[in-house]
Amino acid sequence: MKFSRLIAFRYLHASRENRFFSWITILAILGISIGVAALIVVLSVFNGFETEVRTRMLQANSHIWVTNQPMGFKDPAAWAKSVFTNAQYGHEVKAMAPFVYSFSMAKKDSLVSGVIIRGIIPKQQEKVQSSMPIIQPPSALQDLQREINDAIAGKPRPEVPKVILGSDLGKNLQAQLGDVIRIIDPVAKGLSTSRPYKVAGFYNSGLQDMDKRLVLLSLQAAQDLTGMGKRVTGLSIALKNPEKASLVAYQMGLDYLDMTFKDWKSFNSRFFEIMDGERVRVGFIVALVGIVAAFNILTTVFVSVSQRQRDISILKALGATNSDIMKVFLIQSSAIGIGGSVLGVILAGSISYSLQTFPLFDLPDPYFLKTLPVSYSFSVYAGICGAASFICLCAGLYPAFIASRVNPTEGIAGTGHAI
C-alpha cells in the first residue's frame, strides 16, 4: 500500500516532458471544490431559511389558534378549563391566553396603512409565546399589562391607550416612540371615526407580513375598539411539543365542531409545501453536480493512464501486481476528490460567513425574511464532502481497471491497446 500511495502521488505531478497533466489535476481539484462549495452554500442557505422562518413563526404565532366566529367566547376561562381536563389531549397543552383579532386601518397625518389588530393580556400571552425578545423596548408590554391591571382594579381607562406597532408599519407611518397615531374604528361606518393611541414600542419579528401590519393593544383597549364588550375572538394555545400542533388541532376540532382550529403550520401551509418541493429540486441539482464531478475525475484518470502506460509496464516487469496498479489510480482519484472536497469546504465556509456577516441585499417582499440566513450544519458539510470523495473514488474504478490490463511487453514498446 505504501508503494501504491507513493507512485499515486508522484503521478499527480507533471512530468518534465509534459506539464499538461499538472494543469488537468489542478483544474479537476478546482472543479470539485467549486461544486462542493456551491452545494454546501445552497443547502446551508436553504436549511437556514427554513429554520429561521420556523423559529420566527413560532415567535410570532401561537401553536394553535381557536376562534368562535362571529360571536366569540363569552367565558374563555371555562372553555380553557374543559380543554385542560380533556383526557385525550389535555396533557399536551402547556398554556392558553385569550385574544381579540380584527382588521382596520391606521393613520398618522396623511399616511394611512392597513393593519391587523390583536388585543392581548401580555402576562398570559408570554406563557403561550414569548414576544419579549422581538419587542423594543421590552417595557412596552408592561405598559399594556398596566392598562389591564388598572381596569381590573376599577380605575378609569386611559384616554389615549398604548399601542405596539410592527417595525415596518412604524416606518410606513413615520411614527416614533411617544407619537400618537389613530386607528379607524372597524365597527363604525365610514372612515371618519377613529381613536387615538400612543406608540409605546415596536414589534420586530423579521417576518415582513407581520411587521408591516401588526398592531398590539391591551385586551380591554382592543375590545373597546372592536365593540366586543367582554367577549374575546379566541384563544392562543401553547403545546409542550409544537410538532404535535396539527394532530392536537384536529382532535380538538372533532370535539368542538362549531369552532375553528388552526395550527402554526397551517397559517403558512403554502410555504411548507414549497419548501418540500425545493428539497426535491435541490436533490436533483446534487445528482447533476455529482455526475459532472464523476466525469471530471474519469477524464483526469484516463489521461493519466494513457500517459503512464510505459511506466505501468515497467512496474509490472519489476513485480507489481494488477492489484497494485489498480490501487495506484484509485488512490490518485481519491486524492483528487478529497483535496477538492476539503478545499470546497473551506470555500463554502468563507462564502457562508461572508453572507452572514456582510448581507449584500435585502430579500424582496414575497419572502418572509429581510436578509439571507445561513445555517452551519456538520451533517451538510460532512455529507457533501464524503459524497464527493466517494463519487471520485467510484469514478476512478474503471480507469484503474483499464490500467491493470496493460500488457508489459506492449506497454514498453508503445503499442498497448488497454484503453
**pLDDT tens profile 297-319:** 777 777 777 767 777 777 777 77
- Per-residue b or e along 175-191, where b marks 16 or more CB atoms closer than 10 Å to that residue's CB: beeebebbbbbeeeeee
Percent of residues, the chain, with pLDDT higher than 90: 15
Classify the C-alpha dihedral 28-31-35-38 as positive or negative. Answer: positive
Instruction: Inform me whether the pLDDT recorded for 197 exceeds 90.
Output: yes
What is the structure's pLDDT at 395?
Answer: 80
What is the structure's pLDDT at 286?
Answer: 67
Confidence band (pLDDT; 50, 70, 90) for 361?
Answer: low
Do 249 and 262 form a contact (C-beta atoms < 8 A)?
yes
Q: What value does the mean pLDDT take over residues 271-276?
A: 73
> Exposed, middle or buried by CB within 10 Å (0-12, 13-18, 19+), for 241?
exposed
Strand partners, 234: 67, 99
- What are 7-31's pLDDT values in tens digits? 666 666 555 555 555 677 777 788 8
- What are 373-387's pLDDT values in tens digits? 788 888 888 888 888
Q: What's the whole-number average pLDDT of the chain?
A: 81
- What are 21-64's pLDDT values in tens digits? 567 777 778 888 888 888 888 888 888 877 777 777 777 778 88
Any idea where the domains of the chain sit in the sequence?
2-57+271-413, 64-263
Q: How many CB atoms lie within 10 A of CB 29?
A: 24
What is the structure's pLDDT at 385?
Answer: 86
What is the structure's pLDDT at 233?
Answer: 92
What is the structure's pLDDT at 151?
Answer: 86
Q: Name residue, grid cell 496498479.
A: 325
Do 103 and 118 form a contact (C-beta atoms < 8 A)?
no
Q: What value does the mean pLDDT take over residues 138-156?
A: 88
Q: Which backbone phi and psi does 108 adopt, to 5 degrees?
A: -145, 115
What is the structure's pLDDT at 68?
Answer: 84
Q: What value does the mean pLDDT take over residues 71-88?
A: 88
What is the structure's pLDDT at 10?
Answer: 64
Instruction: Inform me whether the pLDDT recorded for 333 exceeds 60.
Output: yes
What is the structure's pLDDT at 417?
Answer: 53
Out of 66-80, 117-131, 141-155, 276-290, least confident range: 276-290
Q: What value does the mean pLDDT take over residues 323-342?
A: 82
Higher pLDDT, 4 or 73: 73
Confidence band (pLDDT; 50, 70, 90) for 370?
Answer: low
Out of 5-19, 252-266, 388-402, least confident range: 5-19
Tell me the CB-side half-sphere exposure of residue 365, using CA atoms within 13 A: 3
Integer angstrom CA distances of residue 417 from 165, 319, 410:
78, 21, 8
Q: What value does the mean pLDDT take over residues 248-262?
A: 89
Q: What value does the mean pLDDT take over residues 107-122?
A: 90
What is the structure's pLDDT at 297?
Answer: 74
Higher pLDDT, 343 or 133: 343
Q: Name residue, grid cell 457562508.
A: 352
